[in-house]
Structure 1
Amino acid sequence: MANHGVETYHENGQWKNRIQGNSRASNTAETKREAQAEGRRMAQARGVEHTIKKLDGTIGERNSYGNDPHPPKG
Protein backbone atom coordinates (compact mmCIF):
# COMPACT_ATOMS: atom_id res chain seq x y z
CA MET A 1 0.00 0.00 0.00
CA ALA A 2 1.38 3.41 -0.96
CA ASN A 3 2.00 5.99 1.75
CA HIS A 4 0.09 9.03 0.51
CA GLY A 5 0.97 12.46 1.84
CA VAL A 6 -1.20 14.83 3.86
CA GLU A 7 -2.70 17.91 2.23
CA THR A 8 -3.87 21.06 4.05
CA TYR A 9 -6.29 23.10 1.93
CA HIS A 10 -9.18 25.59 2.04
CA GLU A 11 -12.67 24.60 0.89
CA ASN A 12 -16.15 25.99 1.54
CA GLY A 13 -14.92 28.52 4.10
CA GLN A 14 -12.96 26.00 6.18
CA TRP A 15 -9.38 24.80 6.39
CA LYS A 16 -9.14 21.03 6.04
CA ASN A 17 -6.68 18.15 6.02
CA ARG A 18 -6.92 14.98 4.00
CA ILE A 19 -4.76 12.08 3.00
CA GLN A 20 -3.90 12.62 -0.67
CA GLY A 21 -6.04 10.44 -2.87
CA ASN A 22 -9.01 10.54 -0.50
CA SER A 23 -12.06 12.55 -1.48
CA ARG A 24 -13.11 13.45 2.07
CA ALA A 25 -11.31 15.54 4.65
CA SER A 26 -9.87 13.83 7.72
CA ASN A 27 -10.56 16.92 9.86
CA THR A 28 -11.43 20.61 9.68
CA ALA A 29 -10.21 23.73 11.50
CA GLU A 30 -11.25 27.33 12.00
CA THR A 31 -7.87 28.72 10.95
CA LYS A 32 -5.06 27.80 8.61
CA ARG A 33 -2.65 27.71 11.56
CA GLU A 34 -4.76 25.08 13.37
CA ALA A 35 -5.19 22.98 10.24
CA GLN A 36 -1.49 23.23 9.42
CA ALA A 37 -0.51 22.06 12.93
CA GLU A 38 -2.84 19.05 12.72
CA GLY A 39 -1.69 18.27 9.17
CA ARG A 40 1.93 18.36 10.34
CA ARG A 41 1.11 15.98 13.20
CA MET A 42 -0.64 13.60 10.77
CA ALA A 43 2.28 13.69 8.30
CA GLN A 44 4.87 13.11 11.03
CA ALA A 45 2.91 10.15 12.41
CA ARG A 46 2.68 8.61 8.93
CA GLY A 47 6.24 9.55 7.89
CA VAL A 48 5.04 11.28 4.70
CA GLU A 49 5.09 14.66 2.94
CA HIS A 50 2.83 17.50 4.12
CA THR A 51 1.60 19.83 1.37
CA ILE A 52 0.15 23.16 2.49
CA LYS A 53 -1.95 25.00 -0.06
CA LYS A 54 -2.67 28.72 -0.18
CA LEU A 55 -6.18 30.14 -0.14
CA ASP A 56 -6.18 30.16 -3.96
CA GLY A 57 -5.35 26.43 -4.10
CA THR A 58 -1.74 26.76 -5.25
CA ILE A 59 1.00 24.99 -3.31
CA GLY A 60 2.55 27.28 -0.73
CA GLU A 61 4.81 24.91 1.16
CA ARG A 62 5.93 21.29 1.31
CA ASN A 63 7.58 19.50 4.21
CA SER A 64 8.79 15.91 4.22
CA TYR A 65 8.70 13.81 7.38
CA GLY A 66 9.88 10.51 6.00
CA ASN A 67 11.36 9.09 2.84
CA ASP A 68 11.81 12.24 0.78
CA PRO A 69 11.18 11.37 -2.88
CA HIS A 70 13.16 14.47 -3.94
CA PRO A 71 16.00 15.00 -1.43
CA PRO A 72 18.15 18.15 -1.71
CA LYS A 73 21.17 17.87 -3.98
CA GLY A 74 24.57 18.94 -2.91
Structure 2
Amino acid sequence: MTTRTDNASDTAVELHADVETYYDNGTWHTRRCDSAEPFASGASRVRLIAIGVEVARWNGLRHIIRDTDGNIVEVNRYVTGPYPSRSPVTRERIGR
Protein backbone atom coordinates (compact mmCIF):
# COMPACT_ATOMS: atom_id res chain seq x y z
CA MET A 1 0.00 0.00 0.00
CA THR A 2 1.31 3.42 -0.93
CA THR A 3 1.44 5.84 1.98
CA ARG A 4 2.21 9.53 2.02
CA THR A 5 1.94 12.09 4.79
CA ASP A 6 -0.15 15.24 4.43
CA ASN A 7 1.97 18.40 4.49
CA ALA A 8 -0.62 20.49 6.36
CA SER A 9 1.01 21.94 9.45
CA ASP A 10 -2.08 21.63 11.68
CA THR A 11 -2.59 17.88 11.34
CA ALA A 12 -0.75 14.63 10.86
CA VAL A 13 -3.34 12.58 8.97
CA GLU A 14 -1.70 9.77 7.02
CA LEU A 15 -3.07 9.35 3.53
CA HIS A 16 -3.11 5.95 1.85
CA ALA A 17 -6.07 4.16 0.27
CA ASP A 18 -8.55 6.61 1.80
CA VAL A 19 -10.91 8.78 -0.25
CA GLU A 20 -10.22 12.50 -0.56
CA THR A 21 -12.43 15.36 -1.80
CA TYR A 22 -10.45 18.47 -2.72
CA TYR A 23 -10.53 21.67 -4.81
CA ASP A 24 -8.04 22.26 -7.64
CA ASN A 25 -8.03 24.70 -10.58
CA GLY A 26 -11.62 25.84 -10.07
CA THR A 27 -13.11 22.33 -9.85
CA TRP A 28 -13.92 19.90 -7.05
CA HIS A 29 -12.42 16.41 -7.34
CA THR A 30 -12.73 13.11 -5.49
CA ARG A 31 -10.02 10.45 -5.63
CA ARG A 32 -8.46 7.61 -3.70
CA CYS A 33 -5.39 8.98 -1.94
CA ASP A 34 -3.17 6.29 -3.43
CA SER A 35 -3.99 7.59 -6.93
CA ALA A 36 -3.03 10.87 -8.57
CA GLU A 37 -6.10 10.82 -10.84
CA PRO A 38 -9.58 11.71 -9.51
CA PHE A 39 -12.42 9.27 -10.26
CA ALA A 40 -14.98 12.11 -10.15
CA SER A 41 -14.82 15.85 -10.87
CA GLY A 42 -17.34 18.66 -11.08
CA ALA A 43 -18.45 22.11 -9.99
CA SER A 44 -20.61 21.02 -7.03
CA ARG A 45 -18.77 20.53 -3.73
CA VAL A 46 -21.79 18.83 -2.16
CA ARG A 47 -22.12 16.34 -5.03
CA LEU A 48 -18.43 15.40 -4.94
CA ILE A 49 -18.54 14.96 -1.16
CA ALA A 50 -21.58 12.68 -1.56
CA ILE A 51 -19.71 10.57 -4.13
CA GLY A 52 -16.71 10.35 -1.81
CA VAL A 53 -18.94 9.28 1.09
CA GLU A 54 -20.48 6.44 -0.96
CA VAL A 55 -17.08 5.12 -2.06
CA ALA A 56 -15.70 5.34 1.50
CA ARG A 57 -18.82 3.63 2.94
CA TRP A 58 -18.75 0.68 0.58
CA ASN A 59 -14.99 0.17 0.93
CA GLY A 60 -14.68 0.80 4.68
CA LEU A 61 -12.30 3.74 4.25
CA ARG A 62 -11.85 7.22 5.67
CA HIS A 63 -13.19 10.20 3.71
CA ILE A 64 -10.95 13.26 3.94
CA ILE A 65 -12.57 16.58 3.00
CA ARG A 66 -10.42 19.62 2.18
CA ASP A 67 -11.40 23.27 1.76
CA THR A 68 -10.52 25.46 -1.23
CA ASP A 69 -7.11 26.25 0.32
CA GLY A 70 -6.20 22.56 0.60
CA ASN A 71 -6.52 22.34 4.39
CA ILE A 72 -8.17 19.27 5.88
CA VAL A 73 -11.47 20.33 7.47
CA GLU A 74 -13.12 16.98 8.16
CA VAL A 75 -12.16 13.29 8.39
CA ASN A 76 -14.90 10.64 8.52
CA ARG A 77 -14.23 6.92 9.00
CA TYR A 78 -16.60 4.25 7.71
CA VAL A 79 -16.62 0.47 8.26
CA THR A 80 -17.68 -2.31 5.93
CA GLY A 81 -20.42 -4.82 6.53
CA PRO A 82 -23.40 -6.35 4.79
CA TYR A 83 -25.33 -3.09 5.28
CA PRO A 84 -22.83 -0.24 5.77
CA SER A 85 -24.02 2.57 8.00
CA ARG A 86 -24.90 5.85 6.33
CA SER A 87 -23.25 7.69 9.22
CA PRO A 88 -19.51 7.63 9.82
CA VAL A 89 -18.17 5.57 12.72
CA THR A 90 -15.97 8.51 13.71
CA ARG A 91 -16.02 12.15 12.63
CA GLU A 92 -13.23 14.63 13.22
CA ARG A 93 -13.68 18.30 12.32
CA ILE A 94 -10.40 20.15 12.11
CA GLY A 95 -9.96 23.87 12.66
CA ARG A 96 -13.53 24.72 13.69
Q: Tell me which interval the TM-score lies in, with the shorter structure as reference length.
A: 0.7 to 0.9
Partner of 1:15: 28
> 1: distance between equivalents of 2:42 and 2:48?
5
Q: TM-score, normalised by structure 1?
A: 0.82
Structure with the larger RCO, 1 or 2 (CA within 8 Å, 6+ apart): 1
Q: Which runs of 4+ in 1 moved over 4 A?
A: none
Gaps of 5+ in 2: 3-15, 81-89, 91-96
Q: Match of 1:55, as an amino acid?
A: T
> 2: distance between equivalents of 1:31 and 1:13?
11
User: What is the aligned length?
Assistant: 68
Q: TM-score, normalised by structure 2?
A: 0.64
Gaps of 5+ in 1: none
Partner of 2:19: 6
Q: Does 1:65 pair with 2:78?
A: yes
Deviation of residue 58 (structure 1)? 0.3
> 1: distance between equivalents of 2:43 and 2:52?
13
Report the structure, 1 or 2, having the larger helix content: 1
Q: Match of 1:35, as an amino acid?
A: L
> 2: distance between equivalents of 1:45 and 1:14?
25
Which of 47, 50, 61 pairs up with 1:34?
47
